[in-house]
Homo-oligomer: A and B are copies of this chain.
Amino acid sequence: MFCFDWAAWKRLSATERAAFANEFSQTLARWELGSADGHPNQSALFSQIGHKGDLTLIHFRDSFEDLNRVELELAQCGIYPCLKLVNSYLSVVELGLYESSEKIYTQLAEKGLEPGTPEWNVGLKEATARTFAALSSRLYPTIPPAKYLCFYPMDRKRGEHVNWYAEPIADRRAMMNEHGLIGRRYADSVRQIITGSIGLDDWEWGVDLFADDPVIFKKLIYEMRFDKVSAVYATFGQFFLSVRVAAANAARWLDGTLATDEAST
Contacts and interface: CB of A to CB of B under 8 A. Distances in A.
Contacts of A152: 199
A10 B76 CA distance: 9
A120 interface: no
Contacts of A234: 158
Given A163-B232, A258-B68, A260-B65, A241 B49 contact: no
B160 A218 contact: no
B202 A239 contact: yes
Copies in the complex: 5
Nearest to A76: B256
Chain A facing B: main interface SS: mixed
Contact of A231 (B90, B166, B215): B166
Interface of A: 1, 4, 6-7, 10, 47, 49-52, 64-65, 67-69, 71-73, 75-76, 80-81, 85-90, 92, 147-148, 150, 152, 157-163, 165-166, 196-202, 209, 214-215, 217-218, 220-222, 225-226, 228, 230-232, 234, 238-239, 241, 243, 253, 256-258, 260
